[in-house]
Structure 1
Amino acid sequence: MPDQQNQGKPSYAGSLSILTSLFFIWGFITCLNDILIPHLKAVFTLSYTQAMLIQFCFFTAYFLMSVPSGYLVEKIDYKGGIIVGLAIAGCGCLLFYPAAGLHSYPLFLGAFFVLASGITLLQVSANPYVTVLGDPHTASSRLTLTQAFNSLGTTLAPYFGALFILSNAVKSAEEIKLLDAEQLSAYQTAEAAAVQNPYLGLAAVLFFMAAVFAMLKLPKINQQAEAGDAHEEGGSAWQYSHLVLGAVAIFVYVGGEVSIGSFLVNFLGEPDIAGLAEQDAGKYVSFYWGGAMVGRFIGSAVMQKIHPGKVLAFNALAAAGLVLATMLGSGTLAMLTILAVGLCNSIMFPTIFSLALTGLGSHTGQGSGILCAAIVGGAVLPLLQGAFADHIGIQHAFFIPFLCYLYIAYYGYRCRQL
Structure 2
Amino acid sequence: MTKNKYLFPFIMITSLFFMWGFVHNLDPILIPHLKKSFSLSTLQASLVDSAVFIAYFLMALPAGFIMKKYGYKTGIIIGLLLFAIGSFLFIPAANTQLYFFFLIALFIIACGLTILETAANPYASLLGPAETSTFRLNFAQSFNGLAATLAPIIGAKIILTKGYSDTELSAMTESAKQVALASEASSVKMPYLILGSIILVIAIIFAFLKLPEIKETEQKEGEKTGIFHALAHRHLSWAVAAQFFYVGAQVCVFSFFILYATKAAGIDEQQAAKYAGYGMGMAFMIGRFFGTFLMKFISAGKLLSIYALINVILCIVAITSSGTIALYAVIGIAFFMSIMFPTIFSLGIKDLGKDTKFGSSLIIMSIVGGAILPPVMGYISDMTHNIQMGYAVPLICFVVVFLFGIKGHKVIEIKSYE
Length-normalised TM-score, structure 2: 0.93
Aligned to 2:244: 251
Q: How far is the alpha carbon of 1:28 from its aligned partner?
A: 0.2
CA contact (8 A) 1:42 1:171 kept: no
Instruction: Determine if the alignment matches structure 1 residue 139 to structure 2 residue 138.
Output: no
Q: Partners of 1:18 and 1:163 in 2: how far apart?
A: 28
Instruction: Indicate which of 269, 274, 283 corresponds to 2:274.
Output: 283
Q: How far is the alpha carbon of 1:180 from its aligned partner?
A: 7.6
- Structure 1 segments, 4+ long, off by >2 Å, are 170-181, 183-190, 230-233, 415-418
- SS of the equivalent of 2:267 reads coil
CA contact (8 A) 1:162 1:280 kept: no
Query: How do residues 173-212 of structure 1 correspond to structure 2 at under 5 angstroms?
Result: 175=169, 178-179=172-173, 183=176, 187-188=180-181, 190-212=183-205
Q: How far is the alpha carbon of 1:344 from its aligned partner?
A: 0.2
Aligned to 2:286: 294
Write the deviation string for residues 117-160 of structure 1: whole angstroms up to 9, x where unpaired: 00101001111111111111111111000000011111110011
Query: How do residues 149-188 of structure 1 correspond to structure 2 at under 5 angstroms?
Result: 149-172=143-166, 175=169, 178-179=172-173, 183=176, 187-188=180-181
Structure 1 residues 191 and 300: alpha-carbon distance in aligned structure 2, compared to 1, 3 A threshold = same
CA contact (8 A) 1:310 1:416 kept: no
CA contact (8 A) 2:37 2:182 kept: no
CA contact (8 A) 2:304 2:339 kept: yes
Q: How far is the alpha carbon of 1:351 from its aligned partner?
A: 0.5
Instruction: Determine if the alignment matches structure 1 residue 372 to structure 2 residue 364.
Output: yes
CA contact (8 A) 2:169 2:177 kept: no
CA contact (8 A) 1:253 1:349 kept: yes
Write the deviation string for residues 74-99 of structure 1: whole angstroms up to 9, x where unpaired: 22211111111111010000111111
Instruction: Indicate which of 86, 89, 95 corresponds to 1:92.
Output: 86
Instruction: Indicate which of 8, 12, 15 corresponds to 1:18.
Output: 12
Query: How do residues 7-406 of structure 1 correspond to structure 2 at under 5 angstroms?
Result: 9-172=3-166, 175=169, 178-179=172-173, 183=176, 187-188=180-181, 190-225=183-218, 233-235=223-225, 236-270=229-263, 273-286=264-277, 287-392=279-384, 393-406=386-399
Q: Letter of the aligned partner of 1:125 in structure 2?
A: A
- SS of the equivalent of 1:395 reads helix
Structure 1 residues 185 and 408: alpha-carbon distance in aligned structure 2, compared to 1, 3 A threshold = closer
Q: Partners of 2:399 and 2:405 in 1: how far apart?
A: 10
Structure 1 residues 33 and 232: alpha-carbon distance in aligned structure 2, compared to 1, 3 A threshold = farther
Q: Partners of 1:241 and 1:38 in 2: how far apart?
A: 40
Q: How far is the alpha carbon of 1:193 from its aligned partner?
A: 3.2
CA contact (8 A) 1:268 1:281 kept: yes
Q: How far is the alpha carbon of 1:289 from its aligned partner?
A: 2.4
Q: Partners of 1:251 and 1:416 in 2: how far apart?
A: 15
Q: Partners of 1:349 and 1:156 in 2: how far apart?
A: 19
- Structure 1: runs of 5 or more not aligned: 1-5
**Larger deviation: 203-212 or 235-244?**
235-244
Q: Partners of 2:117 and 2:57 in 1: how far apart?
A: 12
Q: How far is the alpha carbon of 1:23 from its aligned partner?
A: 0.3
- SS of the equivalent of 1:325 reads helix
CA contact (8 A) 2:86 2:109 kept: yes
Give the number of equivalent residue pairs.
406
Q: Letter of the aligned partner of 1:62 in structure 2?
A: Y
- SS of the equivalent of 2:3 reads helix
CA contact (8 A) 2:235 2:410 kept: no
CA contact (8 A) 2:67 2:357 kept: no
Q: Letter of the aligned partner of 1:278 in structure 2?
A: E
Q: Letter of the aligned partner of 1:23 in structure 2?
A: F
**Larger deviation: 191-200 or 116-125?**
191-200
- SS of the equivalent of 1:221 reads coil
**Larger deviation: 257-266 or 295-304?**
295-304
Q: Letter of the aligned partner of 2:400 in structure 1?
A: Y
Q: How far is the alpha carbon of 1:225 from its aligned partner?
A: 4.8
Q: Partners of 1:378 and 1:231 in 2: how far apart?
A: 39
Q: Letter of the aligned partner of 2:46 in structure 1?
A: M
Identity across the alignment (%): 39
Q: Partners of 1:379 and 1:234 in 2: how far apart?
A: 32
- Structure 2: runs of 5 or more not aligned: 412-418
Aligned to 1:3: none
Q: Partners of 2:144 and 2:409 in 1: how far apart?
A: 26
Q: How far is the alpha carbon of 1:305 from its aligned partner?
A: 2.2
Q: Partners of 2:312 and 2:364 in 1: how far apart?
A: 24
Q: Partners of 1:417 and 1:244 in 2: how far apart?
A: 11
**Larger deviation: 166-175 or 76-85?**
166-175
Q: How far is the alpha carbon of 1:202 from its aligned partner?
A: 0.5
Q: Partners of 2:375 and 2:281 in 1: how far apart?
A: 21
Q: How far is the alpha carbon of 1:186 from its aligned partner?
A: 5.4
Q: Letter of the aligned partner of 1:303 in structure 2?
A: M
Q: Partners of 2:391 and 2:221 in 1: how far apart?
A: 46
Q: How far is the alpha carbon of 1:397 from its aligned partner?
A: 1.1
